[in-house]
Amino acid sequence: MRIKTIIIWIVVIGCSFGLGFFIFNFFIMPKMIGTGKDINVPNLIGKRLVDAQKIILDQGFQLEDTRDVYDTIFPSGYVVGQKPLAGSIVKTGKKINLLISKGAQMVNVPVLEQMTLDQGTRILASIGINPYPIESLRSSNPTGKIIGVEPGPGSEVRLGSNLKVYVSSGNTGIFLMPILVGLPTNIAKDSVASNGLILGSVQTIPSEEPKDFVIIQYPEDGMKVRTGDTIRLIVSGKR
């Protein structure tokens, strides 16, 4: 008789718990959730984190989490992603996750001098830099060897950016004057020397161009010159 009573109580307790769970899950909980107001998730992309946080709180949302990611479009500290997406209809109090830009990923320019163009191109591709443009310069170095890059080795550049590569075209006979306009003065001087030319006057004049870049050359590029000819340069100074 005692065992039968215990079994009855176990059954009663179990049924009560099940009934309570059913009532809470299907009647009470929906009413609690349903008390929230339907609202559109705002578009936070492109906003500063501090501004996005204010919008989230002002409109009745909660900021759950932020995660930093590299981004080439928005500067550091700006929102680049969000969940839920902008325009989603949710209840007030919904938690929002944000992705925050930490700026573009930077890589260091490697030393490529004296490598072949093919070797240098493979190295640049492996670290996410584009070898463009490629310019041939007369040089005492063997034909096809890399003789310089711009920006120079050790410089920090954005992942996916272009790197100007200078390749030797050798140094024989009468040749066409190379392009010096647009080059940094130090690289232009190296080009003059490596082509067996003589650097004459270097005049600095005020200019809107970046400082210490060649803006005029004599002879002009494309004219025929020979080893020992004198070259004159005009370079940009402060305006």
Q: What is the pLDDT of residues 122-140, one digit of tens each?
A: 999 999 999 988 887 777 7
For residues 147 and 120, the answer to whether their CB atoms sit within 8 Å is no
Average pLDDT of the chain, as a whole number? 86
Which has more pLDDT, 228 or 41?
41
Give the residue-averaged pLDDT of 112-124: 93
**Do the bridges between strand 106-108 and strand 162-168 make them parallel or antiparallel, or are there none, so unpaired?**
unpaired
Q: Which of 47-61, 97-111, 190-204 has the lowest mean pLDDT?
A: 190-204
pTM above 0.75, yes or no: no
Please answer whether residues 147 and 168 qualify as being in contact, where contact means their C-beta atoms are separated by less than 8 angstroms. Answer: yes
Same fold, 36-104 and 174-239: yes
Q: Provide the residue ranges of all domains of the chain, joining segments of one domain with +.
A: 36-104, 105-172, 174-239
Least confident span in 34-38, 57-61, 183-187 = 34-38
Indicate the fold that domain 36-104 takes in CATH. Answer: Trypsin Inhibitor V; Chain A (3.30.10)
Is residue 221 within 8 A of residue 179, CB to CB? The reply is yes
Can you tell me the mean pLDDT for 182-211?
90
3-class secondary structure per residue, 93-146: CCEEEEEEECCCCEEECCCCCCCEHHHHHHHHHHCCCEEEEEEEECCCCCCCEE
Residue 179: band (very low, low, confident or very high) from pLDDT cuts 50, 70, 90: very high
- Strand 175-176, strand 224-225: pairing: antiparallel
Residue 35, pLDDT score = 52
Q: Which residues contact 49 (CB under 8 A, 6 or more apart)?
A: 66, 77, 78, 79, 98, 100
For 224, half-sphere exposure in the C-beta direction (CA atoms, 13 angstrom radius) is 2
Question: What pLDDT, in 10s, does the model give residues 15-38?
Answer: 565 555 555 555 555 555 445 688
Q: Residue 26: CA atoms inside 13 Å, Cβ hemisphere, count?
A: 6
Instruction: Map residue 30 onto helix, strand or coil.
Output: helix
List residues bridging with 164 in a β-sheet.
Answer: 150
* Residue pair 90/119 in contact by the 8 Å Cβ criterion: no
Read off the pLDDT of residues 98-109 as tens digits, 9 standing for 90 and up: 999 999 999 999
Contact 230, 198 (CB under 8 A): yes
Cα separation of the two ends of the chain: 108
Does domain 105-172 match CATH 3.40.980.10? no
Q: Which CATH number fits domain 174-239: 3.10.350.10, 3.30.10.20, 3.30.70.20, 3.40.50.10440?
A: 3.30.10.20
Cα–Cα distance for residue pair 204/235, rounded to 1 Å? 5
